[in-house]
């Protein structure tokens, strides 16, 4: 991806989440979207079903792949997983910032090899709010916990972070203009919230400093996925123009 926000096009900023149960269903969505979108996110559900095959298929068609595996294990295991993923050709890979500095540093070192994906540290899941955090022993509010983990990730050599739109403005100010900030929980106006808690529209997220937006069900389950994707791309473009 380009190194600054101003260099990004609307197609650079949208990743369609293929949160589908198998390769066949995923590729049906990809076929319907055609060349409307450039980035596709492959998460745990699809990756466990299809493995590196789905990554390679998308790459063979000229798409960029965001592999959302949220790696969280001992440093040596995560470093090995990063090296394995590099062979498949994914452009982005997520790890959990909650794994700590040693784990993230090991992942960053593994990702320094040629052809490796850029790493994103997941801070606090967008499905979690203060009550959810309290339930796992974290008394800080989500925004404070996100900032703490983002600082730790940046100090550990990680390229970017995943956070909600509620925290992105703070992280943009804290981490600088070149940090890749990826925002899930994006819901166009009128869309169902689903299991997300901390959400925003595409325009709101871009205005606050997001680099890339992740959108799944509002596109993949739309009556016309191409039209849904184009509407989001247009909203991103308008937000970019307004921010200049």
User: What is the per-residue pLDDT for 198?
Assistant: 52
DSSP H helical segments within the chain, as ranges?
23-33, 44-50, 52-60, 75-88, 101-110, 130-135, 142-155, 165-175, 202-207, 217-220, 225-243
User: What is the per-residue pLDDT for 196?
Assistant: 47
For the segment 85-110, what is each residue's pLDDT rounded down to a tens digit? 888 899 999 999 999 999 999 999 99
For the segment 139-185, what is each residue's pLDDT rounded down to a tens digit? 888 889 999 999 999 999 999 999 988 999 999 999 999 999 999 98
Neighbours of 174 (CB within 10 A): 14
Distances (CA, A) of 146 to 96, 130, 162, 164, 191: 12, 12, 9, 9, 26
For the segment 35-45, what is each residue's pLDDT rounded down to a tens digit? 999 999 999 99
As annotated, the active-site residues are 70
Short-list 201, 93, 214, CA closest to 163: 214
pTM of the model as a whole:
0.91
CA atoms 106, 112, 116, 120: torsion sign: positive
User: What is the per-residue pLDDT for 241?
Assistant: 83
What is the arithmetic mean of pLDDT over 4-17? 85
For the chain, domain boundaries:
5-243
Residue with more model confidence, 143 or 111: 111
Short-list 238, 187, 242, CA closest to 10: 238
Q: Which two tokens stand for residue 156?
A: 């550990």
User: CA torsion 111→114→117→120, rounded to 10°?
Assistant: 40
CATH architecture of 5-243: Alpha-Beta Barrel (3.20)
For the segment 188-241, what is each residue's pLDDT rounded down to a tens digit? 765 554 544 556 889 999 999 999 999 999 999 999 999 999 999 999 998 888
- pLDDT band for 128, please (50, 70, 90 cuts): confident
Sort residue 190 into left (φ over 0), alpha (ψ -120 to 50) or beta.
left
User: What is the per-residue pLDDT for 234?
Assistant: 94
């Amino acid at each position: 991806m380009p190194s600054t926000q101003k260099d990004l096009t609307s197609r650079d900023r949208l990743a369609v989440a293929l949160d589908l149960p198998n390769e066949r269903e995923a590729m049906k969505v990809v076929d319907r979207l055609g060349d409307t979108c450039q980035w596709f996110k492959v998460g745990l559900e699809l990756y466990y079903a299809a493995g590196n095959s789905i990554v390679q298929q998308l790459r063979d068609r000229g798409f960029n792949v965001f592999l959302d595996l949220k790696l969280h294990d001992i440093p040596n295991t995560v470093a090995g997983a990063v090296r394995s993923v590099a062979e498949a050709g994914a452009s982005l890979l997520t790890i959990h910032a909650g794994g700590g500095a040693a784990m993230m540093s090991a992942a960053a070192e593994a990702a320094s090899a040629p052809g490796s994906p850029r790493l994103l540290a997941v801070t606090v899941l967008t499905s979690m709010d203060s009550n959810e955090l309290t339930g796992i022993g974290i008394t800080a509010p989500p925004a404070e916990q996100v900032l703490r983990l983002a600082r730790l990730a940046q100090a550990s050599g990680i390229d970017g972070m995943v956070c909600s739109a509620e925290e992105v403005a703070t992280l943009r100010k804290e981490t600088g203009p070149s940090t890749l900030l990826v925002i899930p929980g994006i819901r166009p106006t009128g869309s169902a919230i689903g299991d997300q808690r901390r959400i925003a529209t595409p325009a709101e997220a871009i205005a606050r400093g997001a680099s890339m937006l992740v959108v799944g069900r509002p596109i993949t389950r739309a009556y016309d996925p191409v039209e849904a994707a184009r509407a989001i791309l247009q909203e991103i473009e308008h937000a970019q123009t307004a921010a200049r």
